[in-house]
Structure 1
Amino acid sequence: MESDRKRLLNVLVLGLSFMLVFTAFQTCGNVEETVLSSLNETSNESGYLSLSIIYGVFSISNIFAPSVVALVGPKLSMIFGGVVYSIYMATFIEPMTWSFYTASVAIGVAAAVLWTAQGTCLTLNSDSTTMARNTGIFWALLQCSLLFGNLYVYISWRGKTRITDSDRRVLFTVLAVISLAGTLLLLTIQQIPSFTSGPSSEEQSSLMNNPEPSTSTGGLAQAKQALRNSVKLFFTRHMFFLSACMAYTGLELTFFSGVYGTCLGATNYFENAKSLIGLSGMLVGVGEITGGGLFGVVSQRLRLVRTRPNRGAVVILGLVTHAVAFFLAFLNLPSDAPISGGSGTNKLSYIQPSVQVALLCSFLLGFGDSCYNTQLYSVLGSRYAKDSAPAFAIFKFVQSITAAIAFYYSNYLLLQWQLLILILSAVIGSLSFIIAETFAPTSSSYNSQF
């Protein structure tokens, strides 16, 4: 059917757009602490502090994000978010304290709107038979963002022990342009007829493009209802157990997207340690893409994750994968690597630091992350199809608040304590996911309880 092709095209455009925007942001997060430490060797807190602010504001803003999306529609909401992401990249070209931290606050707000709108857009273009496929396609395209920017970092920073002003300006100018290109691509997303079981075509038109949000009484009513739905949904038992798994994804997001790369760049035993940050980021991306393809597109054909127990099996696979990665990182990297600053550390861990082991950990971190996120997306998109904005807002609220906490303590805790927090929360989150899936209500409505 023509409408099915348009829905698939919308998912592809959505994935490509987010790939470009997050090529900029993921690369930025991976090198941010290293760049700012080289800029100012008297302080190594700015990168972690900025990311903590971003995710802290992100978490709070998710309370209101569904209302914004209901008011202006997911398309305009995503465009707004993308523009702010581009501005944040630009602040690194000539970093100033006031603009840098102001942009950190702004991108936290924009991220909440962007991701809530993304979840709504993905749900509007999927049904129960295509949600797993579309989630996998989107996830795989999104995680390609970890390849290109990090490849540039790997090549251009090879042999460098310090990141110069010229290096920084060139990198972040390119990243700002890439982010803006991804934002402009969102303009090509098409409005399509709705599914028979979903919103009406009029409701979908309002969701995708609300032309007069400021004067639309219906839009304001939708915004208020979205806020009420978010609060009501948050306090259901099913969402309570899912939230423990969501919380873990925030903690491990912090580790693989910011802390782990910083640890590699600070381990002076590694030759080309700064360049290794980029190569590690690429391997995380390969792991993410592998998982997204395996548990998204392929799984739909094999019916691997179409039932609740099998979703739990994928999450357990993620738990085992991450447990192995954390143990290898514990053995391979110095304990003070996360907090050593621009000068790095000359300490050794329990084994002689190995580049091969470090890169294996990078792949495992990405693969395990895809196990958790693809299954959470699949659950939320299928079970809360009619309440997708509140459901995805809760996901990002929980995930981002734990990420903010983790980025804050990452500036103070030694590596082994960070890894201990991760493995304990991984076990709790995985078991909670299985409980949620096993005893989930049969209805997709947030009113259902178990």
Structure 2
Amino acid sequence: MLQGRKTLINIFILGIGFMLMFTAFQTCGNIEQTVIKSFNSSEFHGSGYNSMAIIYGVFSASNLIAPSVVAVIGPQLSLFFSGLVYSGYIAMFIHPFTWSFYTVSVLVGIAAAVLWTAQGNLLTINSTDSTIGRNSGIFWALLQFSLFFGNLYIYVQWHDKAHISDKDRQTVFISLTVISLVGNFLFFLIQRIEPEAPPSEASESLLPGDNSESSSVVVSQSLSTQALNAFKKAIQLAMTKEMLLLSVSIAYTGLELTFYSGVYGTCIGAMNQFGEHAKGLIGLSGIFIGIGEILGGSLFGILNQWNRWGRNPVVFLGLATHFLAFYLIFLNIASDAPLAPEEGTDLRSFIPPNVNVALLCSFLLGLGDSCFNTQLLSIIGFMYRDDSAPAFAVFKFVQSITAAVAFFYSNYLLLHWQLLIMVLVGFVGTLSFFVAEWLVVSHQRNSDYDSI
């Protein structure tokens, strides 16, 4: 009973720490391209889209070394030091230089891989087979609240700003840096959990940094061999028919992650037709994205436990939701909005620009994203229960690679071309998910028949 209470407290601390960190970081990502356009400095020539492309590109490659880092220094210190890099990225905007901007972008990509590996490690250590679903839900909900609080702060600060001054920028980023650092130091409150029974070989690998004799043996083994074996296993899983099918859906989540977390907010802030409150609407848009994520994650997490109709209806709902959002965005937002200068764009699309429609689209983007992600996590966790670590490494690799590509082309493509790419990939990804789900269900039925 006492052990269970301690692990639940650890999950809440982990979730609140991530909520504070990503309240700062996701807010930073949402506004940075708009902020960069307002810099009055001839020394700075960076692009927020390029920065995010670098972060996600390095993140994907760094998944290969992250398990070894966590094994050496333990998950708690991994979270703290990775979090410091995130805080450094945010603090860089207080007085930015081009060289520091791109240098820290590379470091954040490495830190992201270590951070999420350590997060999964701690979530596993503090969970049992019967509590892993509950604990994952608690962590997800707390993490998604970061979209709400951070963007609410931006809306309050900027709702009446037609131009972002240096003082406005510094005030916001100093505050975000402090919030991020508070989240980092919360990780030290996570209590150490001792295994109640002698761990198996599999569970020993989930306890890096443990001072016990068994963990010392694990850590003393060749980390390069462990990393190589994990890499080989990930490659094997990536080549399976089911994972190849799911990779198209995963790639789509990377594209739309880029769009809702970086591009769409920039588009809203660039629309002069929205009046002097356009910059503040960036924060309000993020709030509605967060509401959609929280609502969808909670609702579909519950429905997934029943699994009466399978995963396909939820994924189809996500596609329909996103297609509706893309169509309304196409009608409501000017095509040059992603590339507009700091002064914004005076162009209009096919209907008079409407703030309510823009915010409805934000909600639909968050809701649709939760549809895809909850079902992908569910099906991958079900199919690769015994190889979850390399399977989710493939998931993160594919998602971060496509996010990097999307952030790169966001520098050059008009809005309607970006929407077209997501429509095509989303349609093919949904069909491939349907086939993968059918293969899983067929295999499960055959297994049930063989057991009978």
TM over 0.5: yes
| 2:419 equivalent to 1:414 | no
Residue 374 of structure 2 is matched in structure 1 by 374
Residue 424 of structure 2 is matched in structure 1 by 424
| 2:288 equivalent to 1:283 | yes
1:362, 1:44 → 2: CA distance?
29
Residue 278 of structure 2 is matched in structure 1 by 273
**1:17–1:380 CA distance, 2 compared to 1 (3 A):** farther
2:45, 2:318 → 1: CA distance?
32
2:423, 2:255 → 1: CA distance?
10
1:6, 1:387 → 2: CA distance?
27
Deviation per CA, 1:196-227: give whole Å up to 9, x if none. Answer: 99956961663364787997226554333323
| 2:306 equivalent to 1:304 | yes
| 2:357 equivalent to 1:357 | yes
Percent same amino acid among aligned pairs?
A: 56
Counterpart residue identity of residue 287, structure 1: G
| 2:255 equivalent to 1:251 | yes
**1:198–1:254 CA distance, 2 compared to 1 (3 A):** farther
Counterpart selection for 1:261 from 261, 265, 290: 265
1:383, 1:120 → 2: CA distance?
20
* 1:11 shift after superposition: 2.7
Residue 135 of structure 1 is matched in structure 2 by 136
For the aligned residue pairs, the C-alpha RMSD in angstroms reads 2.8
Counterpart residue identity of residue 236, structure 2: K
- Is contact 1:131–1:381 with CA below 8 Å preserved after alignment? no
- Is contact 2:125–2:193 with CA below 8 Å preserved after alignment? no
**1:143–1:199 CA distance, 2 compared to 1 (3 A):** farther
Give the TM-score normalised by structure 1. 0.89
Aligned positions of 1:102-117 closer than 5 A: 102-117=103-118
- Is contact 2:19–2:142 with CA below 8 Å preserved after alignment? yes
Residue 48 of structure 2 is matched in structure 1 by 47
1:123, 1:304 → 2: CA distance?
23
- Is contact 2:210–2:216 with CA below 8 Å preserved after alignment? no
Aligned length: 438
Residue 188 of structure 1 is matched in structure 2 by 189
Counterpart residue identity of residue 59, structure 1: S
* 1:353 shift after superposition: 0.6
1:378, 1:109 → 2: CA distance?
26
* 1:132 shift after superposition: 3.9
**1:86–1:285 CA distance, 2 compared to 1 (3 A):** same
Counterpart residue identity of residue 88, structure 1: Y
**1:318–1:191 CA distance, 2 compared to 1 (3 A):** farther
Residue 174 of structure 1 is matched in structure 2 by 175
2:6, 2:311 → 1: CA distance?
28
**1:127–1:424 CA distance, 2 compared to 1 (3 A):** farther
Structure 1 residues 221-230 or 415-424, which shifts more?
Answer: 221-230
| 2:123 equivalent to 1:122 | yes
* 1:263 shift after superposition: 0.3
Give the TM-score normalised by structure 2. 0.89
Counterpart residue identity of residue 182, structure 1: G
Partner secondary structure for residue 380 of structure 2 = helix
Residue 96 of structure 1 is matched in structure 2 by 97
1:220, 1:194 → 2: CA distance?
26
The structure having more radius of gyration, on CA atoms, is 2
Counterpart residue identity of residue 291, structure 1: G
* 1:190 shift after superposition: 3.5
Residue 297 of structure 2 is matched in structure 1 by 292
For structure 1, the residue ranges without an aligned partner over 5 or more in a row are 444-450
Residue 435 of structure 1 is matched in structure 2 by 435
Deviation per CA, 1:28-49: give whole Å up to 9, x if none. Answer: 0110000000005889861111
2:223, 2:239 → 1: CA distance?
25
Counterpart residue identity of residue 265, structure 2: G
- Is contact 2:335–2:415 with CA below 8 Å preserved after alignment? yes
2:10, 2:201 → 1: CA distance?
18
Deviation per CA, 1:298-322: give whole Å up to 9, x if none. Answer: 337xx334x6x52222222111111
Deviation per CA, 1:86-137: give whole Å up to 9, x if none. Answer: 1111111110111111000000111112123323333444455544433332
Counterpart residue identity of residue 280, structure 2: S
Q: Which has the higher contact order (CA 8 A, sep 6+)?
A: 1
Residue 404 of structure 2 is matched in structure 1 by 404
Structure 1 residues 5-14 or 27-36, which shifts more?
Answer: 5-14
Deviation per CA, 1:412-432: give whole Å up to 9, x if none. Answer: 111111111111111122222
1:144, 1:325 → 2: CA distance?
22
- Is contact 2:71–2:209 with CA below 8 Å preserved after alignment? no
**1:194–1:375 CA distance, 2 compared to 1 (3 A):** farther
**1:103–1:304 CA distance, 2 compared to 1 (3 A):** same
**1:201–1:251 CA distance, 2 compared to 1 (3 A):** closer
2:58, 2:87 → 1: CA distance?
18
Counterpart residue identity of residue 61, structure 2: I
| 2:202 equivalent to 1:222 | no
